[in-house]
Chains A and B, each alone.
Chain A
Amino acid sequence: MPNKSFSAANLELKDMVDIDFTVNSVRRVLRVPCNYTLLDIIRYELKLTGAKEGCGMGECGACTVIMDGALAPACLVLATTLSGRDIWTIEGIKEKEDAKPIIDAFIARTATQCGFCTPGMVVASYHLLTKYESPTDEQILEGLSGNLCRCTGYVKIVEAVKEAAKELNTLKKEGRDA
């Protein structure tokens, strides 16, 4: 229900907010309506549509991004709080060297079906694997518990994360040995 005293349709210039932040290591200076969320900004202003809106209420994880090193549901982050922040979306993460084993494992394990949860799931998995080198089952289940998936039953997603962890460790070891 829209608040009676606030009309999103009748926004005026004073209701716009200037933000200056970084998205996927690119500095962005934008003027957006003050009621915009981070999800609105990345999807509609920046056209980064990898993050999805499954609920708009912080309950599904389809919009998951990394904000200042922590997972965040983009749909709950208000534009007014964004200045100075460092945001990573799937579009930026997928280019990273250490995300490749995750993407490969998701493909090899069929860890996606309809795919709507998947970008968020990959972001959460990436975050998990930067936190733990060899996560336990418990840590994987906990780390992905904010991301709903209606298609997979999570079985193949958990398998993919384990496989990616193994591959990342091998790569690291090779890097050290070289």
Chain B
Amino acid sequence: MLTKKQNLYSVVGKKVNRVDALEKIDGSARYVDDLAFEDMLFAKMVCSAIPSGRIKKIDKSRALKLKGVAAVLTAADITGLNKIGCVVDDQPLLADKIVRFAGEPIAIVAAETREAAEEAAGLVDIEYEPLEAVLNVDDSFCEKVKVHPKGNTVCHYKVRKGGDIDEAFSKSFKVYEKTFTINYQEHLYLETQGCLALVENEGITVHGSFQCPFYVQGAVATAVGLPLSKVRVIQSVVGGGFGGKEDVPSEYAAKAALLAFVLKRPVKLILDRAQDLMVSSKRHPMKMEYKVGVTKKGKINALKVRALADSGAYTTLSTVVLFRTSVHFGGPYVIPNVCGDVIGLYTNRVPCGAYRGFGTPQVIYAMESMINIICNDMGFDPFEFRKNNALKKGALSINSHKIKESCGLIETIDKARKESDYDKRKKEFDRWNADESKRTLKGLGVSSIFYGMNLGAKGWFFDKAGSHIQICRDGSVTLCVGNVEMGQGAKTVLAQIAAEALGCQVGDINFTNVDTNIVPDSGPTVASRTTVMSGNALLDAANKLRKKLMNAAVEVLKLKVNQIMAKHGKFYNIKDSHQFVTFADLAKKCYFDNVSLSDMGYYVSPKVEYDMQNGQGEPYYVYSYATAVSEVEVDKKTGEVHVNKMTCAHDVGRVINPMLASAQIEGGVAQGVGYAIMENMVSEKGHIKTLGLSTYVIPTTRDFAEVKSVFVEDKSKDGPYGAKGLGEPSLMPVVASVVNAISNAAGCQFDHVPVLPERVWEALNEKKMRDDESEVR
């Protein structure tokens, strides 16, 4: 049933079609590779062939002799500074003297055609002196070989809560220990990284596929040596990001801009798929040692975690990603005694950074696996156990954050159980599995998560957003925000928020793509923050404009403000809907009355207090919550797994658009399923071997899973109309629940992700041998 308040909303909470659907469907949307400029050159990067070594010589002569080659630039040719690090200054734009991973860019070529650029890149001769490479976290940790002179530790986050941890374990009824490992995940946005730079008005303009136009602006200014005001970044349509286009595009944009600046010609740099797979950032592989103590009644009383993350050759975003790991490794549970260490380590492998979930799906997998083990061993019901330990209003998280509002975790657990028909399915599956003649085994798995909204304590100084709204005199509206549409549906949801606040129709709204010349720096499009941040920034501007429209309506309708309601492009008499004035007429009136209908909005994320030493305080201001239930089917003969169904219950505060919200969840499920059972990045001696889509395999329609999305709407007081974020939570519980389902089907807990068929097959055989032996006895 709708509450009275919900009823008042005209577009928020409604199934509004995507505002950018048609142009994407009929192929007219312009992605960066669809843009072309007169006299444009094509660029290609020359990348290191070895994971670690000294560059002894770079010989450009063969490349420069090739027809159509305009330039080959190396570190020596950089007009600004040779640095690209987004958080820590440890990474060069082009490797200078030392290379630290196979694929690290050393030179950049520009030529008249794509083909010539590609060929020339192969003709740049580089002589190396190979050095010993650090290829895993254990070697990195013992620091026999140092990746950087300062040592191998990128960051080390500690969480210390409660009393002495060993004493706490001694009071546990049972203690469980296990080590888990998890591989890379590649974003595999369908559009590879790309940008186009040109010289304009004595500065540089960059078009491209970005999540963070303001990061790109900074990187280009640094590399070329220009003030920020001379660098303009204009967002193209983005073919998927998932975190992969957060900091990474800055690297390519700075290179293209450098070429454009030196050659005074437009330069396009589009990565081919193989190079994109080789050089762009990934989700951190981790090794996670878990120890969990449980009381007789099924309360978790102690948790000790040591997580080692492979950050790769440079810090990039590791320090912020792993901060989030340190908040989420204990899950959304109340645990009185916690001792956690999350350590990021340099290796001579590809740098790892942001990926949907931001350092959390790995530890969620480990923590939720521990809970699965505990429930199976002690005979607890997986939902009851989670509820029994769940965060709720008034409770403390592992960081001792006292939850004050908007916490629908327990409702998500209840809803997930009910909507997945868990109890009935469990009985059916038990019967199915008992039948030896069946070719498959079936399993159910559960996982719960929470997710801290926005950038939190580690990134508060970035956590702002701006907007600009202009109402034209015919009543059409132009919006500009600083966060980007990358497929998630931001434009649509933000148009709904603006339309609701202004009283116009969604169809009246036109979105200008992000342009750093128009809106103030709005921080990155990450952390599932766009709805909340840009939404609030729009509300700020819209409320100012609405006041002016309302004043005009008061004059026209001869009513008081509280007697007028605005929706769907009309300002009505609350008591008599036939008495109204249209939005367009009000806009016209304001125009001729010389009342400006153009305004800026600004929003800053709520400030939080956090003690980084002990990991205690408020890491984020509020959290989204979710519980997922997976149904899987395992082939006994081949070990192949198919995920048949996922039920996902999400508390994301107010749902602005239920259709887009379920679309996000379905996409997150597919990415999580891929991560759990098939996406296996193979790296040998520091070289990634899976450089195509036939070797790095992602889900196709053949892996189709039915997805049921349900919502718990515990409104957040700081969100626009009570909204929280969903982009990342959609993926976060998936891996853990799928692996738990496979583990429950196979009768053993899998300690490595992805769970490939060969491993499942082995596990089934081992179990059969064990069962046979015990029968003999």
Asked if B461 is an interface residue, CB under 8 A from chain A, the answer is no
Chain B residues with Cβ below 8 Å from A149 are 190
B238 to chain A: closest residue by CB: A114
A157 to chain B: closest residue by CB: B701
Asked if B239 is an interface residue, CB under 8 A from chain A, the answer is yes
Contact of B693 among A35, A59, A152 (CB under 8 A): A59
B117 to chain A: closest residue by CB: A9
User: Quick check: which of A77-85, A116-124, A169-177 contacts chain B, the rest being far away?
Assistant: A116-124
Chain A residues with Cβ below 8 Å from B22 are 103, 107
Q: Known contacts A153-B670, A155-B666; is A106 also within 8 Å of B25 by CB? A: yes
Q: Which of A120-151 contact B (CB under 8 A)?
A: 122, 140-142, 144-151
The reply to whether A148 and B698 form a contact with Cβ atoms under 8 Å apart is yes
Chain B residues with Cβ below 8 Å from A116 are 31, 189-191, 239-240
A94 to chain B: closest residue by CB: B26
Contact of A144 among B659, B701, B706 (CB under 8 A): B701
Contact of A156 among B26, B122, B666 (CB under 8 A): B666
The reply to whether A54 and B119 form a contact with Cβ atoms under 8 Å apart is no
Contact of B489 among A55, A60, A113, A122 (CB under 8 A): A113
Asked if A41 is an interface residue, CB under 8 A from chain B, the answer is no
Q: How many residues of B contact A (CB 8 A)?
A: 67
The reply to whether A8 and B115 form a contact with Cβ atoms under 8 Å apart is yes
Interface of A is mostly: loop
The reply to whether A153 and B28 form a contact with Cβ atoms under 8 Å apart is no
Chain A residues with Cβ below 8 Å from B669 are 153
Q: How many residues of A contact B (CB 8 A)?
A: 59
The reply to whether B118 and A112 form a contact with Cβ atoms under 8 Å apart is no
CA of A57 to CA of B691, assembled, Å: 11
Chain B residues with Cβ below 8 Å from A155 are 663, 666, 704, 706-707
Contact of A8 among B18, B113, B666, B701 (CB under 8 A): B113
Contact of A150 among B23, B120, B671 (CB under 8 A): B671
The reply to whether B707 and A150 form a contact with Cβ atoms under 8 Å apart is no
The reply to whether B113 and A49 form a contact with Cβ atoms under 8 Å apart is no
Q: Known contacts A112-B25, A151-B487; is A59 also within 8 Å of B119 by CB? A: no
Q: Which of B679-708 contact A (CB under 8 A)?
A: 692-694, 698-702, 704-707
The reply to whether B67 and A9 form a contact with Cβ atoms under 8 Å apart is yes
Q: Which of B699-728 contact A (CB under 8 A)?
A: 699-702, 704-707
The reply to whether A9 and B120 form a contact with Cβ atoms under 8 Å apart is yes
CB distance from A22 to the nearest CB of B (A): 19
Asked if B66 is an interface residue, CB under 8 A from chain A, the answer is yes
Asked if B596 is an interface residue, CB under 8 A from chain A, the answer is no
The reply to whether A52 and B663 form a contact with Cβ atoms under 8 Å apart is no
Instruction: Apart from A9-B116, A57-B693, A57-B694, list 13 A-B contacts with CB within 8 A.
Output: A57-B692, A59-B692, A60-B693, A91-B27, A106-B21, A110-B17, A111-B25, A114-B24, A151-B190, A152-B666, A154-B701, A156-B666, A158-B701
- 15 A–B pairs (Cβ distance < 8 Å), ordered by A: A9-B119, A10-B67, A55-B692, A55-B693, A60-B190, A91-B26, A107-B18, A107-B25, A112-B25, A114-B238, A114-B240, A118-B24, A151-B487, A153-B666, A153-B704
